[in-house]
């Protein structure tokens, strides 16, 4: 008798079960393929990172680097080192830059093109398509400041989305300047917003002093009327940033990539410089409409204590892209668990059924039904499972090393020697 309620997953995280996992696999494969086509190499990085890496990379007053950060209890090691303060990574770029230096990739030919796929963690308010554990496709080009790499990353990410047949996506583009021109602009922005302070919502009142750029991407109704007249950073870029922005636009034009200049597009992350971009899906609701975003982060490496090194990258939301595929295009069906089901009629056939299973697996995914239920019950389960073939076994036939191969689509059934099962399955319609 259970004495306590059954245990459920933690709030804000979810199980991705087979019906959904198939869609994720399509999205991940598309990501790997497009990244490799552009000459990017895959890496796998730790999910736990030192807290300093994230705090210095994102700024501890940012959401992802501050209140949303999952902090682990410090664990001491037996060698007497002070317990490390670790967090679950909220994003991939800081870890990628760390790995680039720690692994000596900065010593080889530059720039270095890398990508990774994996989970990120943010203690955000759970909502539709906003989870506390979610999955990202991260692409980074580290070691060269040319705006041509910004456009390469955009083209790659556009190819990822477009290649899967997802439409109604717009590419939003902006430049947020750099450490030369942004401080002056931020003062202008504060001068504009200060007289309006009482009419802003509480988060924006705080942003006005701590992170004024974020005033521009506030989604709250109350703050919208003030945006239109706010100064735009693209009118206040220094010469170098303005030239880089022009280059990005002209290369996007040459690539035939349409974009929408969006003066309100900023990144919540402090280390971004110059180009910022986002892929927005028109049918996804409000704050969850972003399929992915990225930009240049020339100030990040130095902020982490490494030599000044430019970089540009993109993070795509796999959960949201998989959702779009499944719900908008409805194109992905989970493969049946097994294509062939081996159904022994009696329990003494376990060993023979296992052997037949082994033989069939050379042709198609095969499972054996070892349960004690009747053949009728096994057949019903086989029909429901979506398998194409049943291999029905009785003792007399097993002694002769033959079995009944039944086509679950047509209902046709015939005797087949065990050794001939793989070719019969393949010829009659092997794996789809
Ligand atoms: P960011 O790292 O915040 O720029 O996010 C990049 C992309 O990751 C977004 O465009 C989303 O598609 C996805 N993403 C970010 N946060 C979440 C979340 N909490 N749940 C699901 N997807 C997310």
Write the CB contacts of 402 (distance below 8 Å, at least 6 apart in sequence).
Answer: 415, 416, 417, 418
Kindly report the protein residue whose alpha carbon is nearest to atom 8 of ligand 1.
317
What's the mean per-residue pLDDT of the chain? 92
pLDDT of residue 305: 95
Helix (H) and strand (E) counts in the chain: 13, 16
DSSP 86: E
Residue 331 confidence (pLDDT) above 70: no
Look at residues 223, 208, 211 and name the one whose alpha carbon lies nearest to residue 267.
211
pLDDT of residue 316: 98
Look at residues 328, 319, 327, 332 and name the one whose alpha carbon lies nearest to residue 127.
319
Q: Is 178 in the pocket of ligand 1 (CB under 6 A)?
A: no
From CA 114, how far away is CA 352, in angstroms rounded? 49
From CA 395, how far away is CA 141, in angstroms rounded? 63
pLDDT of residue 134: 98
DSSP letters spanning 229-240: TS--GGGS--HH
From CA 425, how far away is CA 421, in angstroms rounded? 6
Look at residues 163, 220, 172, 39 and name the one whose alpha carbon lies nearest to residue 112.
39
Q: Is 317 in the pocket of ligand 1 (CB under 6 A)?
A: yes
Q: Is 279 in the pocket of ligand 1 (CB under 6 A)?
A: no
Q: Is 135 in the pocket of ligand 1 (CB under 6 A)?
A: no
Q: Is 100 in the pocket of ligand 1 (CB under 6 A)?
A: no
Kindly report the protein residue whose alpha carbon is nearest to atom 15 of ligand 1.
317
3-class secondary structure, 111: coil
Residues 17-42: pLDDT tens digits? 998 999 999 999 999 999 999 999 99
What mean pLDDT comes out for the span 119-141? 96
pLDDT of residue 66: 73
With the most atoms of ligand 1 within 8 angstroms of its CB, the residue from 16, 136, 161, 289 to mutate is: 136
Look at residues 133, 163, 175 and name the one whose alpha carbon lies nearest to residue 267.
175
Residues 335-365: pLDDT tens digits? 778 999 999 999 999 999 999 999 999 999 9
Residue 148 confidence (pLDDT) above 80: yes
From CA 112, how far away is CA 187, in angstroms rounded? 36
What mean pLDDT comes out for the span 218-227? 87
From CA 343, how far away is CA 393, in angstroms rounded? 6
Q: Is 62 in the pocket of ligand 1 (CB under 6 A)?
A: no
Q: How far is the CA of 378 from the centre of ligand 1 (A)?
A: 44
Q: How far is the CA of 186 from the centre of ligand 1 (A)?
A: 26
From CA 135, how far away is CA 292, in angstroms rounded? 11
Identify the band that residue 63 occupies on the pLDDT scale cut at 50, 70 and 90. Answer: low
Is residue 353 within 8 Å of 368, Cβ to Cβ? Answer: yes
Q: Is 131 in the pocket of ligand 1 (CB under 6 A)?
A: yes
Task: Looking at the CA of residue 122, tell me the nearest atom of ligand 1.
Answer: 19
What mean pLDDT comes out for the span 373-384? 96
pLDDT of residue 10: 96
- The tokens for 107 are 């010593």
What mean pLDDT comes out for the span 405-420? 97
Residue 367 confidence (pLDDT) above 70: yes
- Is the C-alpha dihedral spanning 107, 108, 113, 117 positive or negative? negative
Lowest mean pLDDT among 183-192, 195-204, 249-258, 363-372: 195-204
Residue 430 confidence (pLDDT) above 60: no
- Please name the helix (run of DSSP H) or strand (run of DSSP E) that holds residue 203, with its range, or none: helix 202-210
Task: Looking at the CA of residue 292, tell me the nearest atom of ligand 1.
Answer: 10
Q: Is 281 in the pocket of ligand 1 (CB under 6 A)?
A: no
Q: Is 290 in the pocket of ligand 1 (CB under 6 A)?
A: yes
Q: Is 177 in the pocket of ligand 1 (CB under 6 A)?
A: no
Is residue 273 within 8 Å of 225, Cβ to Cβ? Answer: no
Question: Does residue 80 have a cis peptide bond before it, meaning omega lies within 30 degrees of 0?
Answer: no
Count Cα atoms within 13 angstroms, Cβ side, for 327: 9
pTM as predicted: 0.91
Is residue 166 within 8 Å of 226, Cβ to Cβ? Answer: no
What mean pLDDT comes out for the span 244-272? 92
With the most atoms of ligand 1 within 8 angstroms of its CB, the residue from 139, 315, 319 to mutate is: 315
Kindly report the protein residue whose alpha carbon is nearest to atom 4 of ligand 1.
293
3-class secondary structure, 176: coil
Lowest mean pLDDT among 93-97, 272-276, 331-335: 331-335
Q: How far is the CA of 317 from the centre of ligand 1 (A)?
A: 5
Q: Is 292 in the pocket of ligand 1 (CB under 6 A)?
A: yes
pLDDT of residue 327: 80
Residue 432 confidence (pLDDT) above 60: no
pLDDT of residue 403: 98
Kindly report the protein residue whose alpha carbon is nearest to atom 14 of ligand 1.
317
């Amino acid at each position: 008798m259970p004495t306590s309620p059954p245990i459920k997953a933690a709030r804000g995280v979810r199980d991705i079960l087979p019906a959904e996992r198939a869609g994720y696999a399509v999205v991940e494969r598309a990501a790997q393929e497009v990244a490799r086509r552009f000459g990017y190499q895959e890496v796998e990085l730790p999910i736990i990172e030192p807290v300093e890496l994230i705090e210095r990379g994102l700024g501890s007053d940012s959401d992802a680097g501050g209140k949303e950060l999952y902090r682990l209890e410090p664990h001491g090691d037996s060698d007497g080192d002070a317990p490390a303060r670790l967090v679950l990574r909220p994003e991939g770029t800081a870890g990628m830059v760390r790995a680039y230096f720690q692994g000596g990739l900065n010593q080889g030919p530059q720039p270095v093109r890398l990508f990774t796929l994996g989970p990120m963690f943010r203690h955000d308010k759970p909502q539709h398509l906003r989870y506390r554990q979610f999955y990202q496709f991260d692409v980074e080009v580290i070691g060269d400041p040319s705006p041509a790499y910004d456009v390469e990353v955009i083209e790659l990410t556009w190819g990822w989305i477009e290649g899967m047949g997802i439409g109604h996506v717009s590419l939003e583009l902006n430049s947020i300047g750099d450490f030369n021109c942004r401080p002056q602009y931020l003062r202008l922005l504060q001068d504009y917003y200060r007289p309006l302070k009482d009419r802003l919502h509480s988060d924006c009142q705080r942003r006005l002093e701590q992170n004024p750029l974020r005033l521009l991407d506030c989604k709250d109704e109350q703050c919208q009327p003030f945006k239109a007249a706010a100064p735009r950073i693209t009118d206040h870029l220094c010469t170098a940033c303005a030239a880089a922005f022009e280059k990005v636009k002209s290369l996007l034009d040459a690539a035939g990539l349409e974009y929408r200049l969006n003066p309100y597009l900023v990144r919540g992350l402090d280390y971004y410089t110059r180009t910022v971009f986002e892929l927005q899906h028109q049918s996804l609701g409000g704050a969850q409409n972003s399929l992915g975003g990225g930009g240049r982060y020339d100030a990040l490496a130095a902020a982490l204590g490494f030599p000044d090194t430019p970089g540009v990258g993109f993070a795509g939301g796999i959960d949201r892209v998989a959702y779009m595929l499944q719900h908008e295009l409805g194109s992905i069906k989970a493969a049946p668990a097994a294509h062939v089901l081996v159904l022994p009629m009696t329990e003494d056939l376990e060993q023979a059924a296992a052997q037949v299973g082994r033989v069939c697996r050379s042709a198609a995914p095969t499972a054996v039904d070892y349960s004690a239920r009747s053949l009728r019950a096994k057949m019903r389960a086989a029909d429901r499972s979506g398998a194409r073939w049943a291999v029905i076994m009785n003792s007399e036939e097993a002694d002769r090393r033959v079995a009944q191969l039944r086509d679950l689509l047509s209902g046709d059934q015939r005797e087949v020697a065990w050794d001939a099962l793989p070719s019969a399955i393949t010829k009659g319609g092997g794996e789809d």
